[in-house]
Amino acid sequence: MKYFIFLLIIGISLYSCDSNKKTVVNNSDTIHNNIKNDTIRIANDELEYEIIIFEPGFQAWLATQPPMGYNGITYLESRNRIFVITYNNRVIDNRSRQLYEQEINYDSTVHYGLEVNYLLYNYFIYFQQKYKQKL
């Protein structure tokens, strides 16, 4: 009887250790889905523009920021104008192709709307914080 109880305790211990190992799974599909979920696309066929942000972690960071409408459209447009000019100058200067890959075509005479300006502004803030850049 003692032998049976001893084997039962060892069996339960081994079973519980094995179940903990199964909870940690690193699946490439999960990583791909997280990257896919962090892609933000905004498009307007009338104005023929499209913004695609491929930055892992941006969407989660954006959820912690003040809501759309917190800053006025005039403020966002003026800040975006400055950020885009600085960013594009760094693309042209070829400072770091890893950070500044391609120019952003932002025309300050076009009214893109609150959503586009809000996301673009917040992307620049995120970019500065994540990569320790000053635009």
User: In a structure prediction context, what are the per-residue pLDDT tens digits for the chain, which is 135 residues long?
Assistant: 544 454 455 555 555 554 444 333 443 333 333 444 567 777 766 667 777 878 888 889 999 999 998 999 999 999 999 999 999 999 888 767 778 888 888 888 988 889 889 999 999 999 999 999 998
What was the pLDDT predicted at 124? 94
b/e map 35-73, b = 16+ CB within 10 Å: eeebeeebeeeeeeeebebebeebeebbeeeeeeeebee
Tokens matching residue 95: 């400072």
- pTM for this entry: 0.67
